[in-house]
Amino acid sequence: MFNILRLEEIVNDQLKNLMSKDSGMERLIDFDKYINSKQIVILSGIRRSGKSTLLKQFSEKLGGNFYYINFDDERLMDFGVNDFDNLLTVWKKTNQSKNIFIDEVQNVESWERFVRRVYEEGYKVFITGSNAKLLSSELSTHLTGRYFKIELYPFSFKEVLSFNKIDFLTLSSNNRVEITKKFDEYLVLGGFPEFITYKNREFLKRTYEDVIYKDIITRFGIREITAFRELSNFLFNNFTKKIGYQTIAKALGIKSSISVRDYIGFLQESYLVFELFKYDYSLKRQYISDKKIYIIDNGMRNTVAFSFSEDKGRLLENLVFIELKRRGEEVYFSKDKGECDFLIKDKSRITSAIQVCYSLDEENEKREVKGLVEAINQNNLKNGLILTYGEEKEITLDNINIKIMPVWKWLLGRD
């Protein structure tokens, strides 16, 4: 059992540290929805995306009366599920609250049993975690129907503008210039809150290394460390491109395609990368087809990988994909004679098709429109969207309406 006096010391230290932190810019979420429900609130996302800051924002809206612990602390490495009773005792010595906040909960095995117990005792529980699959499996097993899940990403473009006190609700000639200048930065620098604040690239490198070593190599006991790091680097350099497990295994000298699949799975669980499947009515064909790879944040990608001028189109596509994930969309790509970057699925049907390209000219417009129209026809749609850096117009082709607009406008919900 964990020493209760030591536990009390750590809890007090952590609470003091949390209260001394800047509350940051309020995230653009519906706080009332989550606070006024009895459901457990799960905040998941990559390290340093602002989960702890969001917890503090929730605590302030609850009047500052809460219990708190952060398990991303080396002093709590020996903490086990049997120590939670002592933790409750320590908490109750300080005040009487019905609000519990737990950071990086996945570091304690069988944590979900404690969370379920206090939930049934009438506590309002907020927890954070940095591992998507771990949280999902434990939630579905023990907490089905008892929780809301918020997947937190680095700042959206709206949040970057809010952070910089730029009005995006109304467009004028003055703020339009400010908005587009800030978009140019956002496209390249991304939206990690701490990086946006201090512009220190070492923060992005350090965050990447922490995810690689602490959240993946250590947690999953990876032995082929060099091969794993080369694979991660390969994905960061080849983001938005189609990849095949067998091809990567051969190129990097990894023993098997199964290892490649598992390694990419670990990277996904830690929110570093995302695999996008080709849409197919056959689930088997979806899984065996080549996938496309996207990266959590353009700024991290440009810090970790080589950057070239022609990457701007890929950065634009990556940015759109992450925004679709942020909006909670189920996304696929389409590939037949032509290719369409994104298909949005709602329940059992495709509801929209989106193409992304940096700019349209005589050379590429025919190809981009062809891939989009093919996807529209295959899925019985009537409209399509092409997102670019700056072009804006509408075209009609064979009774299909195609809207072309700048990504920055789409990010602000002006589509």
Is residue 293 within 8 Å of residue 274, measured between CB atoms? Answer: yes
Q: Does domain 4-151 have CATH number 3.40.50.620?
A: no
- Among 30-34, 94-98, 136-140, 252-256, whose mean pLDDT is lowest? 136-140
**Nearest alpha-carbon partner for 354 in 343, 365, 339:** 343
- Please give the mean pLDDT across all residues of the chain: 93
Q: For position 386, what pLDDT does the model report?
A: 98
Domain boundaries, the chain: 4-151, 310-415
User: Each residue of 142-170: pLDDT tens digit?
Assistant: 788 889 999 999 999 999 999 999 999 88
Q: What is the mean pLDDT of residues 102-123?
A: 93
User: Each residue of 16-50: pLDDT tens digit?
Assistant: 999 999 999 999 999 999 999 999 999 999 999 99
- Taking the model in full, what pTM does it have? 0.94
In CATH, the number for domain 310-415 is 3.40.1350
- Which 3 state secondary structure label does DSSP give 267? helix
Is residue 235 within 8 Å of residue 267, measured between CB atoms? Answer: yes
Is residue 85 within 8 Å of residue 27, measured between CB atoms? Answer: no
Asked if the model's pLDDT at residue 139 lies above 80, the reply is no
Is residue 153 within 8 Å of residue 68, measured between CB atoms? Answer: no
